[in-house]
Structure 1
Amino acid sequence: MFSPEGPSLRELAVQALSSVERGYDLLAPKFDHTPFRTPDSVLHAVAAALARTGPYDDGLDLCCGTGAGVEVLAKVCRRSVTGVDFSAGMLDVARRRAPAGEPRVAWVRADARALPFAPAFDLVVSFGAFGHFLPRELPGLFAQVHSVLRPGGCFAFPVVAPPRPTDLAYWMLLGFDTVMRVRNAVWRPPFVMYYRAFRLGEVRAELDRAGFEVGHQALPEFGLRSDGSPRVRMVVARRPDQAGGSGRRG
């Protein structure tokens, strides 16, 4: 399914009937051949935007999967890069595909809702993972990110503008979320993956409550919608610098 190298329909069905962690352990060897992986165009655009605000010293890729976001951090962080994920299978693939002899990269297995780090990072990024968190979990998740950033540090992630009801994609995402809610109502363990639950206005409010200074910028590579709004934004949430600095390091 998706491509000759991607998972079959049967493999996806087995994944969908598993827990999130077990499902991604199963999917990991073929994950990079599915549409679930963040497109390179988005990764490159975020890397370019971060390069304009950096450099940074130490970066963390939250829910790193097979490590595509770690490659973004390696371009903008001068000292160290860490990928964290709770799927052992995804981390195994990430380790294998990482550039040989790259001493700056570390991989840590942990739950994003209980990060095992001190305030050790100047930059945290995340790509495509937020659908795995229920809205009620966002305050705790954002508090964890806030806790691992140094004062002045930045939490950045891309957000795609939601499709309108006149678009086929709107109904496809609505249908997918509906199927997942029915599945989770009748089957255990739950598999949390909701594409329509992560709304920019609500996310900004939760980031504010977690203590971030929140802004966003358009990613010009993707152009504008018919109403003039960006197709893709990068949210930039900064932990206030206690010393009154800008938060940019170096």
Structure 2
Amino acid sequence: MFGPEGPSLRELAVQALSSVERGYDLLAPKFDRTPFRTPDSVLESVAKALAPLGPFADGLDLCCGTGAGAQVLTGLCRHSVTGVDFSAGMLDVARHRVRPTGGPEVAWVRGDARALPLRAAFDLVVSFGAFGHFLPRELPGLFTEVHSVLRPGGRFAFPVLAPPRPTRTGYWMLLGFDTVMRVRNALWRPPFVMYYRAFRLGTVLDELERAGFGVGLHALPEFGRRDDGSPRARLVVARRTQPAAGNVNS
């Protein structure tokens, strides 16, 4: 799973016993050489699906990590790209990894996605592989924050993969990982929130609509279909169509 340039077992253990923020600070220098980084195939597929929905002026990579999503945005946005993350270590890697080359301006902001230190200045917000760090009860607040930084008509887009079926090895691997994390968090502080099976598409779509989004699903054809004909991967595209619930001034 991890190559010789990736983190050692000891390094992973230290990360797992840290807070989420501290853990990613420690992992940042080797993060791109782990399976936790979003694969290029997913990034390229999302970029291809979003291109016809543009043009976009300003984009935000939410929970940007080492900047893979921000790199995608540099090919979709004409004016500016911003990456936001709460890990200083991940942002430091991103600054060196994503360098402007005559395209949009690129900026990096340290901040919590649940309380974004940004204004409504974006036409497109993307996020890759970060939602396992949010508990289900945090989704309403998270989506309200995203809504608040989008201009009217702006879009929030992220890929979702179809969950493996119980007959597949992947199902039991994810179940085992989540179980280990729950035991770890019951016995150790600070908690490390990372649950692969807590982000359920039906709940997510409902919460996006409550936050003031109109939601669409787009199949990502590069990943094919399951035996029942459903897509293996989809792109959720949520468009800001109305003020957030309870806020008539948004």
Q: TM-score, normalised by structure 2?
A: 0.95
Structure 2 counterparts to residues 133-212 of structure 1, below 5 A = 133-212=134-213
1:4 pairs with 2:4: yes
5+ residue gaps, structure 2: 244-250
Gaps of 5+ in 1: 243-250
Which residue identity is paired with 2:33?
H
Where 1:92 maps in the other structure, the secondary structure is helix
Q: Distance in 1 between matches of 2:242 and 2:49?
A: 21
**Larger relative contact order, structure 1 or 2 (CA cutoff 8 Å, min sep 6):** 1
Once the two structures are TM-superposed, the CA of residue 119 in structure 1 deviates from its matched residue by 0.7
Match of 2:83 in 1: 83
| 1:1-250 alignment, distance < 5 Å | 2-99=2-99, 104-240=105-241
Structure-1 separation of matches of 2:79 and 2:188: 45
How far did residue 100 of structure 1 move?
5.2
- CA offsets per residue over residues 29-58 of structure 1, 9 Å max, x none? 000000000000000000000111111000
Aligned residue number for residue 248 of structure 1: none
Partners of 2:213 and 2:242 within 8 A in 1: no
Which secondary structure state, in structure 1, belongs to the residue aligned with residue 154 of structure 2?
strand
> What secondary structure, in the 3-state scheme, does the structure 2 residue paired with 1:123 have?
strand
| SS class of match (1:127) | coil
- How far apart in 2 are the matches of 1:71 and 1:110? 19
**Kindly, what percent of the aligned residue pairs are identical?**
80
Whether contact under 8 Å (2:212, 2:242) holds in the other structure is no
Give, in whole Å, the separation in 2 of the partners of 1:241 and 1:120: 16
Q: What is the CA-CA distance between 1:101 and the residue it aligns to? A: 5.0
Q: What is the Cα deviation at residue 241 of structure 1?
A: 6.6
Give distance in 1, aligned partners of 2:148 and 2:227: 39
RMSD: 1.1
SS, match of residue 238 in structure 2: strand
CA distance in 1, matches of 2:32, 2:158: 19
| Residue type at the aligned position of 1:84 | V
Q: In 2 relative to 1, CA 158–176 (structure 1 residues): closer, same or farther, beyond 3 Å?
A: same
What's the TM-score, normalizing by structure 1?
Answer: 0.95
Equivalent residue letter for 1:23: G
SS state at 2:159 partner: strand
